[in-house]
Amino acid sequence: MASDDALADELRSLARTLHETVADDERRVTALDLLRYANALLATGERRLRWYEVETDGGGRRARTRELSAFSGTINAVAPPMRIEQGERNGSPCMLGHVRLSRLREGPPESVHGGVMAGLFDELMGAAQSLTGRPGGVTGRLTIRYRDLTPLDTDLVFRCWVERDRGMRVDMRAECVRADTLDTDAPVRTAEAEAIFVRRR
């Protein structure tokens, strides 16, 4: 049975193929017909609810699900997607984001676009607010320092932690590290970020 995740993965693969190769007219015409047919097949399904339209418990509270997210959504075909999990940094809890970015996210030659980096940081910081044990807020300010170019086709780990919980505001910090250097004495950080998230009244 085909899953939504599998469909999204195939669409990502198709996007990379389109980005990396130039097909002749005959193949493009055939591919376009197939894509239109696939789109028509899927369009007959039921409308998918957004995460905030679904009640998840008897108290009416809703859980933030990331399957549709622009950066970590497994069924969002435009997401890389980044895999998020809880971990540790220097013995303290943090949130980890694992991702490998293809040329679809290219900015400078063979490097990740700065705007994509900003989106990934914002996504992980939003998730890391759960470390406070309190409801999260929305991004009030996000500042990024690009230390070096972030390479494409390289395993990356984003790490985020809560710097301070000030009630209505949460101060967050994060970094992007090349995964192959993460456990060394000199991890290679390509970017760092700090942000303020504001809890809405």
What's the pLDDT at 138? 93
CATH classification (class only), 69-198: alpha beta
Nearest in space to 54 (alpha carbons), one of 39, 67, 38? 67
In the chain, domain spans: 4-45, 69-198
pLDDT in tens, 143-171: 999 999 999 999 999 999 999 999 899 99
Residue 143: per-residue pLDDT: 98
Can you give 48-106 as a three-state secondary structure string? Answer: CCCHHHCCCCCCCCCCCCCCCCCCCCCCCCCCCCCEEEEEEECCEEEEEEEEECCHHHE
Look at residue 154 in the predicted model and tell me its pLDDT.
98
Phi, psi of 195 (to 5 degrees): -150, 160
- Per-residue pLDDT averaged across 44-70, rounded? 72
Q: How confident is the model at residue 186 (pLDDT cuts 50, 70, 90)?
A: very high
Please state, rounded to an integer, the average pLDDT across all residues of the chain: 91
- Predicted confidence (pLDDT) at residue 140 exceeds the cutoff of 70: yes
